[in-house]
Amino acid sequence: MVWRTAGSKNTPIIEASSGSTAISEAYFARLLGLPFIAVMPASTAKRKIEQITFYGGRCHFVEDPCQLYAESERLARELNGHFMDQFTYAERATDWRGNNNIAESIFRQMKHEPFATPHTLIMGAGTGGTSATLGRYIRYQGYDTQLLVVDPQHSVFFDYWHSRDTELRSVRGSMIEGIGRPRVEPSFMPDVIDEIMKVPDAATLAAMLKLEKLLGRKPGASTGTNFWGMMQVAKRMRAQGEKGALVTVLCDSGERYLDSYYQPEWVAKQIGDIQPWLREME
């Protein structure tokens, strides 16, 4: 395979991301011999910053997460670079009808389980691309499966799903890295989502710590958001006498957040008391 790029070898690639996407893009930019700049909140986990720089990328920080887009566009103009803009193009980057997407992989694996067709898929939304793929695939294939999107405390997706107001803005960024947005993203497709649930940040971290005990490994906080939503659906199903499979995704490793989400002093200062939510998880 020969990979050709439209620009020169000096054209910088720029992305607005504090999630795992920026790490992957830094890796591929290095393979292509292109400079890479990740525009991210100053509060981004240090381990992610280290991984981006390890692959040759550069991190450009903004204090206000709501300025990620404008700052990325400014850098692209000034450096004659290319802004990838995952938040606009994520939902069209995947062949959601085909056999090379996360939805097809989930349903293929579930064929070997006692409940081959999941009752509900639970997924957080960052760009909205993954939930768009899942929701469209479910409908395209005609599965009797619900899609629940779990949304962090300081994100606009929950309100947008109910109001369809594209002008919604949050006064602050999400505390859960990788999911939740301060504005409505073009890749978020509300019409393929059956239900959306607002999850308090403290509930997210309680679920993350509970899942750590169950798995014997540290998940990231966005996985905790997914798991909290899964447990709410499980409680509802049990109360109604229903049986079935619930499916979610482990988004990233908690090893990236040892100095934040897994640090009690940081949690107490940034999130608050999570003990009531821990008791509920038990």
pLDDT tens, position by position, 42-53 = 888 888 899 999
> Of 132, 139, 141, which Cα lies nearest the Cα of 186?
132
pLDDT of 1 = 29
Residue 4 pLDDT greater than 60, yes or no: no
CB atoms within 10 A of CB 191: 10
pLDDT tens digits, residue range 52-111? Answer: 999 999 999 998 877 888 999 999 999 999 999 888 878 887 788 877 899 999 999 999
- Window from 98-107, 203-212, 220-229, 271-280 with minimum mean pLDDT: 98-107
- What Å distances lie between residue 59 and 44, 55, 156, 251, CA to CA? 10, 11, 26, 22
Residue 2 pLDDT greater than 70, yes or no: no
pLDDT of 17 = 83
pTM of the model: 0.87
**Is residue 171 a contact partner of residue 218, using CB atoms and an 8 Å limit?**
no
Domains 13-86 and 95-281 are alike in CATH topology: yes
**Is residue 72 a contact partner of residue 83, using CB atoms and an 8 Å limit?**
yes
The domain ranges of the chain are 13-86, 95-281
Instruction: Domain 13-86: state its class.
Output: alpha beta
Q: How many whole angstroms separate alpha carbon 65 and alpha carbon 53? A: 20
Residue 135 pLDDT greater than 70, yes or no: yes
Domain 95-281 has CATH 3.40.50.1100: yes
Cα Rg for the chain, rounded, in angstroms? 19
pLDDT of 8 = 55
Q: How many whole angstroms separate alpha carbon 37 and alpha carbon 60? A: 7
pLDDT of 3 = 35
pLDDT tens digits, residue range 236-275? Answer: 999 999 999 999 999 889 999 999 999 999 999 999 999 9
* % of the chain surpassing 70 pLDDT: 96
